[in-house]
Amino acid sequence: MSEASPGALDRLVRMNPTQVASFVLSADIVRASVTAAGEALLLLPERGALPIYWTADGYPDEEKPMAGDGVVQLPIGTFDFMSSDARELKGTLNTQQKEAVVARHRTLLTDASRILIIDEVQKGGTITELVNIVDRQRGEQPNRMYVVAAQDSRKKVSSESKTPAYQSLVVGTRKGATATVVPMPLIACDHDALLNTLWYPGKTRVPIEINPPIEIRPNNEAELIFRILGMAVRNREALEDTTVLDKAFSFPLGEKASHRVELWREALITRLKTKVT
């Protein structure tokens, strides 16, 4: 495996195990928040929400998934595309295009008794943009919208000012939505090895289509690892019995990561055990 493009396990092992443990433990709070909201249609904006969701939802072979009335992945984040000169680059959707992606699910939005958005937050602009789009698409429906905001607790971003719209959402002065803030280190942010890939078949940084054909390419390695770690927080037996955890640590590693994986794994499990009851 190339050191320049590590897989999910390789990327995680290069991180501070204390920070990874903090992410996993905080995702358990996300799970509790989702469960407390009751049956709801879960909206997961790609790409940043997925590691949080995977970890909170857990490993279905060992535990019951989070309560939900369906899950919708919204491909509205940063996507990859091949430019006209054959360079692989990253692009973004504008607000109109994001609105078109969400509009594909208008029937679900209007039929759901509750809507719940899970997303990562640094300054708050992206999550409030999505809340506004969902509000427009569901119209005058009486269903309630809940937001679980995974707010980045890393020092380099936690001190940054939040947008007024996000602050209004958090303090409860924005009508039509109730927000729960869960501080956590967003360890997957901007790390492609830990995220799904969004692929646009065109050659422009902003798609030419109003409703662009963005493809979600799943990251099965990252999903399995996050799900197993999330489950292990709620299951001491899983931390003691390596049978399940071994599945998360069975992926290829680069040379640097392979030299430290065992010590890293031990350090991570020790930190998770201190919080498991």
Output helix, strand, coil percentages for the chain, rounded to the nearest 5.
Answer: 45, 20, 40
The per-residue pLDDT for 155 is 87
- Domain range annotation of the chain: 22-219
For 106, 121, 151, 204, the CA distances from 133, given in Å and listed in that order, are: 11, 17, 20, 24
**pLDDT of the chain, 277 residues: tens digit per residue:** 333 456 999 999 999 999 999 999 999 999 999 999 888 999 999 999 999 999 999 998 888 888 667 999 999 999 999 877 777 889 999 999 999 999 999 999 999 889 999 999 999 999 999 999 999 998 877 668 999 999 999 988 888 899 999 999 999 888 888 999 999 999 999 899 999 999 999 999 999 999 999 999 999 999 999 999 999 888 878 888 778 888 899 898 888 788 889 999 899 988 888 765 4
H/E stretch holding 166: helix 164-171
Cβ–Cβ < 8 Å for 227, 54: yes
| Contact partners, residue 83, CB within 8 Å, separation at least 6 | 89, 203
Cβ–Cβ < 8 Å for 15, 229: no
Amino acid at 135: D
Cβ–Cβ < 8 Å for 108, 41: yes
Q: Does pTM surpass 0.85?
A: yes
Q: Where are the alpha helices (DSSP H) in the chain?
A: 8-13, 17-37, 49-57, 95-103, 106-111, 125-138, 155-158, 164-171, 220-233, 236-240, 242-248, 255-258, 261-273
The per-residue pLDDT for 75 is 97
Residue 114's closest CA among 67, 63, 172, 49?
67
The per-residue pLDDT for 139 is 81
- Could you please state the CATH topology (level 3) that the domain comprising 22-219 is classified under: Rossmann fold (3.40.50)
The per-residue pLDDT for 91 is 95
Burial of 169 (0-12, 13-18, 19+ CB in 10 A): buried
The per-residue pLDDT for 131 is 95
